[in-house]
Structure 1
């Protein structure tokens, strides 16, 4: 059963393409998706972390708006992106698995582990040798003094890791001990 989205709670939001199909064919698709995230989500949720992969994505968010408005915002995001992607790729039909997955994050330890897991995802999937070099995760946004979709929560999250040096160290020394995301989520 999926967790119900509730205001003032943290969630891991993730999904993949239907039948594990590609949902981001190009980097431009990923850039466009993040623009839609900013348009549809940033006044309804605080974005803690994200990672976009070619056939799936992960977001860690805190809901800051009424449940129904936040749920509708996710729906609007996914529908807007699917419509544009289908048009660009000359395809029809559902793009994402339904319903999108959401798991409530109920403690700080789980939140910290999930942030590490999400940021290291491209390396874990052998997409890139070093997760730090991946452009479509929020890891580098934490290291730069530049406005981004995680700006509202950046200082709070860095303080959970004590400071930026410990944030980087935790990422470099992270060994999840989990075979996959299901293992991580089942132990929260």
Structure 2
């Protein structure tokens, strides 16, 4: 199996995964919220989230891995710290979710086809396209007629006034303000 590149501090990535054999990951509404709770627990301390979309059989996230200081919770000595592996944190997220779903629905085996895919976001144009692509995904797959009505994406949080852990202000600023999104 080909070794995937490590996720590096201060870089943007498109993170995605899907169900094994395109199996449904979210069997009921509460599963979506549970997945996001696990994401918050395992990933948000180490990555800033700009967009996400949870679909019945796959997920997408646009993240920026935080800087090295945020990734240093393990001090080996006064001068040396061990960086948190964001890959490991994403693995914890997927494993915790799979174990819970397997237990709740009396199933066995792999829930996810792969650990997760990743593509580095290397240009402003790619960042712009990716925010749209992630939010538009449910409409692209024919799940709804208007992506704005999909309840399991960052789109609503980006436009809301409520508290959010998303990098809302950066996304809105990127697109020229709330009226432009």
TM-score normalised by length of structure 1: 0.84
Instruction: Please say if residues 48 and 154 of structure 1, whose CA atoms lie closer than 8 Å, have aligned partners that are also in contact.
Output: yes
* Partner SS, residue 7 of structure 1: coil
Name structure 2 gaps, 5 residues minimum: 72-82
1:4 aligns with 2:18: no
Partner of 1:31: 33
Q: Cα distance, 1:42 vs. partner?
A: 1.0
Partner of 2:53: 51
Partner of 1:15: 17
Instruction: Please say if residues 49 and 61 of structure 1, whose CA atoms lie closer than 8 Å, have aligned partners that are also in contact.
Output: yes
Instruction: Please say if residues 51 and 138 of structure 1, whose CA atoms lie closer than 8 Å, have aligned partners that are also in contact.
Output: yes
1:99 aligns with 2:115: yes
Partner of 2:168: 154
Q: Cα distance, 1:27 vs. partner?
A: 1.1
Q: What does the per-residue CA deviation read over 1:112-145, in whole Å, with 9 as the maximum and x for residues that have no partner?
A: 1000010011111110111111110000111111
The alignment covers a number of residue pairs equal to 165
Going from structure 1 to structure 2, the CA distance change for 1:45 and 1:101 (only over 3 Å counts) comes to same
Give the one of 85, 88, 93 matched to 2:101: 85
Moved over 2 A (4+): 1-4, 65-69
Partner of 1:72: 88
Which of structures 1 and 2 has the bigger CA Rg? 2
Separation in 2 of the partners of 1:35 and 1:99?
Answer: 19
Name structure 1 gaps, 5 residues minimum: 168-188
Instruction: Please say if residues 23 and 57 of structure 2, whose CA atoms lie closer than 8 Å, have aligned partners that are also in contact.
Output: yes
Instruction: Please say if residues 3 and 103 of structure 1, whose CA atoms lie closer than 8 Å, have aligned partners that are also in contact.
Output: no
1:121 aligns with 2:137: yes
How much is the aligned-residue C-alpha RMSD, in angstroms? 1.3
TM-score normalised by length of structure 2: 0.87
Separation in 2 of the partners of 1:82 and 1:99?
Answer: 11
